[in-house]
Structure 1
Amino acid sequence: MPQPSCAEPPDALFNQSLAKGLQVLCAFNAGHRSLTLGEISQRTGMSKASAQRSVHTLQALGYIGKHPLTRRFGLLPRVVELGFNYLDAHPLITAAHSYLAQLARDSGETATLTEPTDHHMVYLAQVLTTQHIPVLTPVGTRVPMYASSCGRAYLSQLPGDQARALLLAMPRPARTRATLTEVGALEQQLQRSRDHGYATNCEELFLGDMGLAAPVFNVSGRVIGAVHVAPPTSRWSMADAERQLGPLVIACARSISQLAPVV
């Protein structure tokens, strides 16, 4: 999760205290489920006194708690309300749900709706397969655009110069040995997505995991997200996945686009 900036405020209405509180919440993630006050200070770049004030406020509001034995801080369930309020009010999720369910049923694989946020795609809604999946990526997961099928599907529908500028601006580390990181190679993938109507990813994010995605548009024809399925390499070859799942993903994305409001 990106860290909210506490640099020089852009205007007189910018609230430094609120920004610092958000920084503290964002300091926790899967690799840092619990933190000491010193670790929070270090991860946020805040002084220990400033971090302590923010932590105390978040404790009083019920967003952060302290373990009675380890004395380490951790997020509390109330944090989930912040994300749920966004999802609950998102009109695209309501429009997409039945089509995602149909895609998951027809494909036998997990179907996910995503939308862009900075240089990533965030998972908005998901219908899980009942079969084994090698990697759990629940709602709220963020994946980089350059290495994900959903990100490539989204980028493929932007003007070429805009897509290239985004690729150049984003970090592009190799997540696996299969990850494409060169802009030229990625632009070839975007063109392939335009030609076929869907984008692919084969073990570029996670070993054993593939992706096929198609772009979702709003009623004005602007790309606003993507739908993807995640067939594992244990059940599918990429050739079989493209032949059988590609048309299903395209049909699902088109159906959602017909109902998608301007968001």
Structure 2
Amino acid sequence: MLEPRSELFNQSLEKGLAVLKAFNAQRRTLNLAEVAEAAAMTKSSAQRMVVTLEALGYLRKQTRTRRYQLTPRVLELGFNYLEAHPLIEVANPFLAELTRLTGETCCLTEPVGEEMVYVARFLSAGFVPVHMPIGSRVPQYCTGSGRAYLSALPEVEAREQLERMDRRTHTPATLTAVADILKNLEQTRQQGYAVNAEELFLGDMTLAAPIIDGRGRPVAAVHVVAPTSRWNRADAERQLAPALLQCTRALSGSARVLE
């Protein structure tokens, strides 16, 4: 059940943000009617939002097609978050060192709703099967970082979150049954890290561990990419997990200090 909104809640701001979020990889350009449909508002409301956002420089109208698209100014919002986030600043040298030690790409993700969002990424020289730039989102239920995060929640809370999720099958290896995922989370708790073996993308394996704050709550996760073209699971766990756990323990200590 949604909590009642404050009388100070600004619906115009909500609508403006909905318009910006209407654009994505599948909807790179939109006309006014498509904006209204994607943002779930009337065409007149969409027009007011689009005109305002265009004047502020966040949208651009194509001269030939008269369709709208986002401008690079939208990136300011995300980069302001990245620059102001103390955990990301602290994590960067640890991620760089983890990449050096493992020889593999290492990433920091944070929970947003039922997904994990990439907020830092250090690339290795080796081939990575899936390109996941900063800002990319992945489901929690079938990824290493998501499982690491869920494993650090109280079991009842993790179960409730899983039951709310749209748990669809992405590959033949994807676990979708709540009972199976909970069993996987228990194993993750015992060993301190999660392993995702091609559950979201074929050829993609990751090892991930949570970052815990001073209240004992997970706030983020670090994962190491271990492509199946270079690693089998046993070797990846034996060679990559110790450095990963050392990294997340250090960052958990920093997270407690930053509170």
1:137 to 132, 138, 157: 132
Structure 1 residues 163-202: aligned runs within 5 Å:
163-202=158-197
**1:92-241 residue pairs with structure 2 within 5 A?**
92-241=87-236
Give 1:66 deviation, angstroms: 1.1
SS in 2 for 1:146: coil
Cα deviation for residue 25 of structure 1 reads 0.3
**Partners of 2:34 and 2:172 in 1: CA distance:** 32
8 Å Cα contact 2:107/2:224 also seen in 1: yes
Give the Cα–Cα distance (whole angstroms) in 1 for the partners of residues 209 and 7 of structure 2.
42
CA distance in 1, matches of 2:116, 2:238: 25
Is 1:78 equivalent to 2:41 in the alignment? no
1:61-72 → structure 2 map (5 Å cutoff): 61-72=56-67
Q: Aligned with 2:141: secondary structure?
A: helix
Amino acid at match of 1:141: S
| Divergent runs of 4+, >6 A | none
After TM superposition, give the deviation of residue 242 of structure 1 in Å. Answer: 1.2
* In 2, Cα distance between equivalents of 1:16 and 1:255: 42
2:59 and 2:226 map into 1 onto residues whose CA distance is 37
Q: Which amino acid aligns with 1:95?
A: V
User: For residue 209 of structure 1, what is the amino acid of its counterpart?
Assistant: D
Secondary structure at the aligned position of 1:171 is classed as coil
Counterpart contact for 1:9–1:16, Cα < 8 Å: no
Give the letter aligned to residue 210 of structure 1: M
Q: Is the 8 A contact 1:156 1:194 kept in 2?
A: yes
Q: Does the Cα contact within 8 Å between 1:219 and 1:262 map onto a contact in 2?
A: no
Unaligned runs of 5+ in 2: none
1:165-191, Cα deviation, whole Å (9 max, x unpaired)? 111111111122211110000001100
1:21 to 16, 23, 43: 16
**CA deviation string 1:72-128 (max 9, x = no partner):** 111101100111111111110111111100111111111011111111111111111
Identity of aligned residues (%): 54
Unaligned runs of 5+ in 1: 1-6
Partner in structure 1 of residue 51 of structure 2: 56
Q: CA deviation at 1:50?
A: 1.0
- Measure, in 1, the Cα distance between the counterparts of 2:218 and 2:11: 34
Structure 2 residue aligned with 1:36, among 24, 31, 34? 31
Q: Deviations over 1:116-141 (max 9, x none)?
A: 11111111111111222111101111
Residue number among 85, 109, 130 corresponding to 1:90 in the alignment: 85
TM-score under structure 2 normalisation? 0.95
Instruction: Give the whole-Å Cα distance in 1 for the aligned partners of 2:14 and 2:110.
Output: 24
User: Which letter does structure 2 place at the counterpart of 1:181?
Assistant: T
1:258 corresponding residue in structure 2: 253
Does the Cα contact within 8 Å between 1:113 and 1:225 map onto a contact in 2?
A: yes
Shift of the alpha carbon at 1:219?
3.5
Distance 1:57 1:85 in 2: 21
Q: Match of 1:167, as an amino acid?
A: L
CA distance in 2, matches of 1:165, 1:196: 23
Q: What's 2:41 paired with?
A: 46
Taking the aligned partners of 2:207 and 2:221, their CA distance within structure 1 comes to 10
Q: Is the 8 A contact 1:115 1:224 kept in 2?
A: yes
8 Å CA contact retained: 2:86, 2:258: no
SS of the residue 1:147 aligns to: coil
TM-score by length of 1: 0.94
Query: Contact (CA 8 Å) 2:115, 2:146: kept in 1 or not?
Result: yes
